[in-house]
Structure 1
Amino acid sequence: MDLLESGERDGGVARVSTYGGISEAPTLARGHGQYLLVAVDEPYDAELLSTMLELAGYRIGIAGSGTEAVARLAERRFELLVIDAELPGMGALAQARPLTVHCPPVLLLTGRDALDGPLPDLGTGERDRVTKPLRVAEVLARVQVLLRGGNGGRDGALHYADLVLDDTTCQARRGRRTLDLTPAEYRLLRHLLGNAHKVLSKEEIGRYVWGDFRGGNAMEQLVSRLRRKVDRDAPALIHTRRGFGYWLGRVAGEG
């Protein structure tokens, strides 16, 4: 059974128990009443996660399978999904995700042996993962980053120049022009935008977009299609660093 490190408060300082030892750490990040869905089949882990997140200021829904998670998503809107990568019925959840209007970010709980493995395809929202055994500070920090949307605002939108991605509706636009993107194109653009001015390798992008690296010219074709939609009007925002990968941003002196 994978256990979480326990934590308790003492005078405003989080005293975190780490496998029998006590160490002091800064007060952990807190939520503001956002709704989170915890989809974990192990009852003990589900209780630990839900209790920890509720104490941190979040409101929690619980699901024990992919099918149950789909039902919970149909009942109400959640701002973040915390999902065990080995959740029974994950296929049902993966099939339902692209059909939902709201695409909340996903925090996956995985074993260390799966760290370099592919991520399940759960729609176009932002994805991150933490390895088990889970650590309180790391889980809360990742939750806070995902809820902030990287460099975006609390409205779920990411911005760069006149380019806007709205994770609430899973839509993108440049200026007044709406971009008709496929799920893979949206994920690619979101990853580039969330790492603006940073060169991302084909392998890193492939793992984010498809869950694994695809050889041949699959990446080149995807980037080419996205460029035709995003950079139809100058200045260009998507660039190639030959031999290294791709990056998004304005070139100095242009625009």
Structure 2
Amino acid sequence: MRVLLVEDDRAVAQGIRNALRGEGYTLDWLADGQEASCALRDERFDLVLLDLGLPRRDGLALLRDLRARPDADVPVLILTARDATRDRIEGLDAGADDYLVKPFDVDELKARIRALLRRSQGRAQPRLEQAGVSLDPARHEVLYHGQPVNLTPMEFQLLHQLLARPGTVLTRERLADTLYGWHESGPGNTLEVLIHNLRRKLDSGLIRTVRGVGYLIEDTP
């Protein structure tokens, strides 16, 4: 899952990046409200972590502009030191999906992120299950017909992305953005290698290739 962190305090941003590094997310960071507004207009993210006191454009103004767009349904979690009740109400009424006051416990942050992602995907259960595969985002556990499967972090992240949208073709570009974000890169065939590894470790027919477009996992009853 691709997360945009908008936070102008470098130490706080680095702490969040460290906390989420092992959670299977690709985290892109911006410290400027105007730059974040442009990024949200031009690129796709699964979740936004938004500070309010930002250079050039305040977080609430950014959020209101985002929610004014008919296609902007990305979940937003406000992370701020503003703890007054009126600030919480203003943030939620501006379009935030959740509100967390600094300083916060990183385990609570992780749990809130998982809950927002579940809600945005239209599901209530924490586990993703399809075709004998069961993935638990909180435990970073994958089972195939009840047996544990050992995946690398990138294999886990790719499988998570595909299982979260069964029956939907995810383009190569979208999957690559999810895996690498802005500041990472890999060999040109990395996506194909990851798909090959998942098929080998799970089931050769689990992930279907849609030639010229991308990949999908069929939605089975």
Gaps of 5+ in 1: 1-80, 120-126
Residue in 1 aligned with 2:97?
140
Residue in 2 aligned with 1:219?
191
Amino acid in the other structure paired with 2:37 = R
Aligned mates of 2:127, 2:97 — CA distance in 1: 21
Residue in 2 aligned with 1:113?
38
Q: 1:153 aligned to 2:78?
A: no
Greater share of residues in helix = 2
Aligned mates of 1:149, 1:117 — CA distance in 2: 17
The question of whether the paired residues in 1 share the 8 Å contact of 2:134 and 2:143 is answered with yes
Aligned mates of 1:134, 1:250 — CA distance in 2: 34
Q: CA deviation at 1:215?
A: 6.2
| Aligned pairs (5 A) from 1:22-101 | 83-89=5-11, 90-99=13-22
Distance 1:226 1:149, change over 3 A: farther
Q: CA deviation at 1:244?
A: 0.6
When the two chains are superposed, the root-mean-square deviation of aligned CA atoms in Å is 3.9
Residue in 1 aligned with 2:165?
195
Gaps of 5+ in 2: 51-58, 65-92, 99-111
TM-score of the pair, normalised by structure 1: 0.50
Residue in 2 aligned with 1:175?
145
Aligned mates of 1:244, 1:105 — CA distance in 2: 22
Alignment length (residue pairs): 159
Distance 1:178 1:149, change over 3 A: farther
Q: CA deviation at 1:108?
A: 8.1
Q: 1:248 aligned to 2:217?
A: yes
Greater share of residues in strand = 1
Aligned mates of 2:121, 2:28 — CA distance in 1: 13
Asked which structure has the greater RCO (Cα within 8 Å, sep 6+), the reply is: 2
Amino acid in the other structure paired with 1:218 = T
Q: What's the secondary structure of 1:134's corresponding residue?
A: helix
Identical-pair percentage: 27
Residue in 2 aligned with 1:210?
180
Residue in 2 aligned with 1:24?
none
Residue in 1 aligned with 2:201?
229
Aligned mates of 2:154, 2:164 — CA distance in 1: 15
Distance 1:189 1:99, change over 3 A: closer
Q: What's the secondary structure of 1:239's corresponding residue?
A: strand
Q: What's the secondary structure of 2:97's corresponding residue?
A: helix
The question of whether the paired residues in 1 share the 8 Å contact of 2:131 and 2:206 is answered with no
Residue in 1 aligned with 2:48?
129
Distance 1:245 1:134, change over 3 A: same
Distance 1:138 1:215, change over 3 A: farther
Amino acid in the other structure paired with 1:150 = Q
Amino acid in the other structure paired with 1:174 = Y
Q: CA deviation at 1:241?
A: 0.5
Q: What's the secondary structure of 2:169's corresponding residue?
A: coil
